[in-house]
Amino acid sequence: MIEMSPLAAGMMIGVMIWMICGGSADRTERLSGLRPSPARPSSRIGIVAVLSSITSFVRNGGTVVEAFEELAERSYPSPTITVDRAMEVFDAKRGDDETADRAWRVAVNVTMACQVSELLGCETARCLSAVSAAYRRECLMEASRSQALAMPESTMKLLAALPVVTVVLGEIMGADPLAFLFGSLYGWLCLLGGLTCYGIGLLWIDALTKPLRSDAETGRGRAGRA
């Protein structure tokens, strides 16, 4: 039988204790990932993560009410999910880039999905997965609209600041543009023509971006009624 020195035995025992404690800590961290902690006091994990957690909980044999009670860290007096109860959880867990209006729409959709599952006998996990997929598509659409509107908005800001910057630079260089604009008939005509073109340009950019803004508002309205 191979003899082991006290130093080697102590090292092996220490490694085993570290592995056991480390694994236990990792499991505890994973299980408490949705709960507040000193490092993450508000637990802003995002609406998508909350929906995925609830769906996984239901697929593993739990109920929607138990999932929301675990996330809310309290028990409900009645075994039902209401919009207010769902809103409490989603508003507390939503990310920093997610608004309360988004949380409210998802809470309404989740509540309706639970009601449809109870009335028609549909699988609750599949209903919740449909809500999660719809919310992901909504986020992608809003991100695409924001990217499409970024360039026109930047152009509008540049055009709005360019005349003022030009006049200021002219004054710094000693060209006296203000004296020309307000001190002669030709200056007033140039000023009037410039303001007219300036207004037409702003109206044109607004007309180009209006369909995107209208689609965004229509999409939010439909999501709120869903």
Q: What is the mean pLDDT of the chain?
A: 77
- Structurally, the chain folds into a number of domains equal to 1
Output the pLDDT for position 184.
84
Q: What is the mean pLDDT of residues 97-102?
A: 87
Q: Which residue has the higher pLDDT, 131 or 183?
A: 131
Contacts of 147 (CB under 8 A, 6+ apart): none
- For residue 52, is it within any domain? yes
The fraction of the chain above a pLDDT of 70, given in percent, is 74
Predicted structure pTM score: 0.58
- Does residue 39 sit within a domain? no
Residue 125 domain-assigned (yes or no) = yes
* pLDDT above 90 coverage of the chain, percent: 15
Give mean pLDDT, residues 51-77. 89
Quick check: is 126 in a domain? yes
Long-range contacts at 208-214 (CB < 8 A, ≥ 24 apart): 208/152, 209/149, 209/152, 209/153, 212/145, 212/148, 212/149, 213/149
The pLDDT of residue 111 is 92
30 has a pLDDT exceeding 70: no
Q: Is residue 226 part of a domain?
A: no
- Collapse the DSSP code of 32 into the 3-class scheme (helix H, G, I; strand E, B; otherwise coil) and give the result: coil
The predicted structure's pLDDT at residue 5: 56
DSSP string spanning 86-149?
Answer: HHHHHHHH--TTS-HHHHHHHHHHHHHHHHHHHHH---HHHHHHHHHHHHHHHHHHHHHHHHHH
pLDDT-derived band at 2, boundaries 50, 70, 90: very low
Across 29-33, 119-123, 134-138, 215-219, which has the greatest mean pLDDT?
A: 134-138
At residue 106 the predicted structure's pLDDT band, cuts being 50, 70 and 90, is: very high
Residue 32 forms part of a structural domain: no
State the Cα–Cα distance between residues 226 and 211, nearest whole angstrom: 22
Residue 94 lies in a domain: yes
Q: What is the pLDDT of residue 133?
A: 92
Contact 60, 124 (CB under 8 A): no
Calculate ∠ Cα 66-72-73, nearest 5°: 85
Q: Is residue 169 part of a domain?
A: no
- Domain extent at residue 62: 44-137
